[in-house]
Amino acid sequence: MPPSIAVTRRDAIRAAGSLAAAIPFAPVLAQTAYPSKPVRITVPFAAGGIADITTRIVAERLSAKFGQQFIVENMQSAGGINAARGALQGGTDGHTLTLFTNGTAISVGLFKNLRYDPIKEFTPISGIGQFDFVFATGGDSRFKTLADVLKESRDKPGSLNIGTVAIGSTQHLCAELFKSLANIDIKIVPFRTTGDVLLAAIRGDIAVAVDPYATMKANLVDGRLRALAMSSVTPSPFLPDVPSVAAAGVPGFDVPSWNALFAPAGTPQPIIDTINKAMAEILADPAVKKRMLDVGIEAKATTPQDIAGKLKSEIDRWTAIIDKAGSEKQ
């Protein structure tokens, strides 16, 4: 047998052996397609709020797209600690995700021991959306514009107050920033619930209430509340004729709130990219955009890099605001 033919046959045998060895692994590779089981999304708020509802809209669409259930798990706690720790305990295979919000950035500066590091321990996937806070007064209030509030607070220092939900909330720190930038003496009154805040404004117990548009919508429509200004400098899709706080007399004020999807650090980049691509498609869908607008949030997908930069800048910003306000660390 010629040597060249013998070599060819040996090579053929080796190639056949290699192919045979590879065949048993083909089903294994197929099984590793993402997602291979239901995906949990931990949310640091109770059911029924803006964050919960918008996450459920996204989860429903992700479930339909990937053929696996994306399940929202509400894990309410101070600082979002339970939701973050719950996501970290789920591992880095992409089957446990979590929701971060503006409140996550605030918590870094507000807690002595947050028990998780949102930058070092998590990887950003995509933004979901953003929304404004409304500065509103009672429908029968003497204040017709935010300028009226500013004028009276300067003419009569300490005579007016602003109501928000609990100390450390985005609403509360939004009011602290307003007070600081406007350089006015106005008392910030924290309430237990949003309902308490709005009722106090309607009754005239407080001059101004600060809360998301979604929670105020019904009272704004029926005239029990009147919008004075919006927290973001970007025109609101909900109240386009209402000026921003900055335009109403407080230059430099700009507080849009946001929420975004994150995964534990170490989650493979192909999985991050897969979810990010799906989020971009879902949030561009007109039907999804409408559903988001109906609950008071503007759908907005981002790149992982964009939301990473957003989180870092918001942590720096709110930590400085908290320190300046002298808020007690929790």
pLDDT (average), residues 209-238: 94
Question: CA–CA separation, 161 vs 122, rounded Å?
Answer: 38
Contact 107, 276 (CB under 8 A): no
pLDDT (average), residues 140-153: 97
Task: Name the nearest CA neighbour of 92 among 251, 280, 270.
Answer: 270
Q: Percent of the chain, pLDDT > 90?
A: 70
Question: CA–CA separation, 97 vs 87, rounded Å?
Answer: 6
Residue 272 is predicted with a pLDDT of 98
Note the pLDDT tens digit of each residue in 193-213: 889 999 999 999 999 999 999
β-pairing, 39-43 with 96-101? parallel
The pair of structure tokens assigned to 313 is 């800048």
β-pairing, 187-190 with 133-138? unpaired
Contacts of 268 (CB under 8 A, 6+ apart): 92, 94
Question: CA–CA separation, 207 vs 88, rounded Å?
Answer: 43
Residue predicted with more confidence, 318 or 153:
153
β-pairing, 161-164 with 225-230? unpaired
Note the pLDDT tens digit of each residue in 285-306: 999 999 999 888 999 999 999 9
**CATH number of the domain located at residue range(s) 39-131+257-325 in this protein:** 3.40.190.150
Instruction: Sheet containing 225-230: give its strands across.
Output: 187-190, 161-164, 208-212, 133-138, 225-230
Note the pLDDT tens digit of each residue in 17-54: 444 444 443 333 334 689 999 999 999 988 888 889 99
Note the pLDDT tens digit of each residue in 68-88: 999 999 998 888 899 999 999
Half-sphere exposure (CA, 13 Å, Cβ side) for 58? 35
Residue 254 is predicted with a pLDDT of 92
The superfamily (CATH) of domain 133-230 is Periplasmic binding protein-like II (3.40.190.10)
Contact 112, 322 (CB under 8 A): no
Instruction: Point out which residues pair with 130 in neighbouring strands.
Output: 258, 298
The pair of structure tokens assigned to 197 is 């805040």
Q: Residue 312 pLDDT > 70, yes or no?
A: yes
Contact 132, 177 (CB under 8 A): no
Domain with CATH 3.40.190.10 in the chain: 133-230
pLDDT (average), residues 228-246: 94
pLDDT (average), residues 101-120: 91
Question: CA–CA separation, 9 vs 219, rounded Å?
Answer: 84
| DSSP H stretches of helix in 33-120 | 50-66, 81-89, 102-110
Residue 277 is predicted with a pLDDT of 98
Report the chain's mean pLDDT, rounded to a whole number.
89
Dihedral pair phi/psi, residue 203, rounded to 5°: -75, -20
Domain with CATH 3.40.190.150 in the chain: 39-131+257-325
Q: Percent of the chain, pLDDT > 70?
A: 90
